[in-house]
Structure 1
Amino acid sequence: MSACEEVDPRVHGIKSTIRVVPDFPKPGIMFQDITTLLLDPKAFKDTIDLFVERYRDKNISVVAGVEARGFIFGPPIALAIGAKFVPLRKPKKLPGKVLSEKYTLEYGADCLEMHVGAVKLDERALVVDDLIATGGTLCAAMNLLERAGAQVVECACVIELPDLKGRDRLNGKPLYVLVESH
């Protein structure tokens, strides 16, 4: 599901602020740059507001943000809905004991880590990132949270690249996006 389907007038403003950078980080990739969205206070606020409106009454206790751009959107959503924020980081960035999950993405392989004890059994979690492409990152995030005992309620992204069919890899887990890009 996406906010586009609901034709919220804020979505057009958000979409218009996202810059597409060809051939970054390597040839053939059309990089969806959200840094230009962040330069527009209204578009940034509208982005956060749309997510908060969706999740305010869903009894979510954990907002897990995927490094690095999930760190931009996750904390304000968590604060607004009264949830804790759990960072899902790249390897060797978190001190102490961690759980790790390796995954592949459209231009390589990576790994996410989370502190042991960051989530408790049966906590309701929301996974937040800026974009879903092939779905590898979101799958790794969900696996990490579920291995720790959390119940992933939904994944939320600002942008979806539907042609890469990442949604299909989420094993039926709901995905909410604001903007589809082709």
Structure 2
Amino acid sequence: MAESTTKLKLELVTKNIRPFPDFPSEGILFSDISPILKNPRALTAVIDLFEDHVRMTYPQVELMVGLDARGFLFGPLLAQRLGVGFALIRKKGKLPGPTVSVSYTLEYGKAEAEIQEDAVSAGQKVLLIDDLLATGGTLYAACELMKKQKADVLGCLVVIELKDLNGVEKLKPFPLFSLVQY
């Protein structure tokens, strides 16, 4: 994609992220992606930008893995474009059949994430996708879950990265690609 086209698409994406001060609690500036989803051009721009990055950087990808729940919005669209499958990482207790889980710490407590046992094969080359990287706890847990499954994590993709929270450090050695940084 030409640099000017990429820049225009990033501007469209950024313009469609709506800030909500003091949500979900005082002092938090929430970055709402709902306007992206309402605007077909903005949603297409997100998927185009991710697709270009993945095709250039990870042509060997075999599976997109989306995090509950906003990773489910972008992951299947990208997987379809790339001609690969999509797997779900959900909150504990939401998936039928045998699952593999991992517990992790959030700013406000503990949580568990799980994936169906047969969703990822050992050695399968996967990319993880979510809407936002803040402190990195959830995406780190997803990487740990992939390690448990013996998958080959190529990297992580997010629409928004909150740089001040330094979540990228928690993800190392896995690379992160973010479209928009605040």
**Is the TM value for this pair above 0.5?**
yes
| Other structure's SS at 2:160 match | strand
Runs of 4+ in 1 over 6 A off after TM superposition: none
Q: Write the distance in 1 (CA, Å) between the matches of 2:93 and 2:148.
A: 19
Aligned to 1:40: 39
Q: Write the distance in 2 (CA, Å) between the matches of 1:41 and 1:74.
A: 16
**Residue 64 of structure 2 is aligned to residue 63 of structure 1:** yes
Question: How big is the shift at 1:104?
Answer: 2.3
**Residue 125 of structure 2 is aligned to residue 97 of structure 1:** no
Tell me if the contact between 1:122 and 1:149 (Cα under 8 Å) persists in the aligned partners. Answer: yes
Q: Say how many residue pairs are matched.
A: 177
Q: Write the distance in 1 (CA, Å) between the matches of 2:36 and 2:106.
A: 23
Q: Write the distance in 2 (CA, Å) between the matches of 1:29 and 1:66.
A: 22
| Other structure's SS at 2:91 match | coil
Measured on the aligned residues, the alpha-carbon RMSD in Å equals: 1.7
Q: Which runs of 5+ in 1 are unaligned?
A: none
TM-score w.r.t. the length of structure 2 is 0.92
Q: Write the distance in 1 (CA, Å) between the matches of 2:110 and 2:166.
A: 18
Question: How big is the shift at 1:36?
Answer: 1.2
Q: Write the distance in 2 (CA, Å) between the matches of 1:8 and 1:156.
A: 18
| Other structure's SS at 1:89 match | strand
Question: How big is the shift at 1:109?
Answer: 3.0
Aligned to 2:11: 12
Question: How big is the shift at 1:12?
Answer: 1.2
Q: Could you list the per-position Cα deviations for residues 104-162 of structure 1 after superposition, in whole angstroms to 9, with x for gaps in the alignment? A: 23444322110001111110000000000001111001110111010000100000000
Q: Write the distance in 2 (CA, Å) between the matches of 1:89 and 1:72.
A: 13
Aligned residues: percent identity? 42
Q: Write the distance in 2 (CA, Å) between the matches of 1:141 and 1:128.
A: 10
Aligned to 1:54: 53
Aligned to 2:79: 78
Q: Which letter maps to 1:49?
A: D
Show the 5 A alignment for 1:97-176. Answer: 97-176=98-177
Q: Write the distance in 2 (CA, Å) between the matches of 1:24 and 1:118.
A: 34
Q: Write the distance in 2 (CA, Å) between the matches of 1:92 and 1:14.
A: 33
Report 1 or 2 for greater relative contact order, CA contacts < 8 Å, sequence distance ≥ 6. 1
Q: Which letter maps to 1:139?
A: Y
Q: Which letter maps to 1:162?
A: K
Q: Write the distance in 1 (CA, Å) between the matches of 2:18 and 2:67.
A: 21
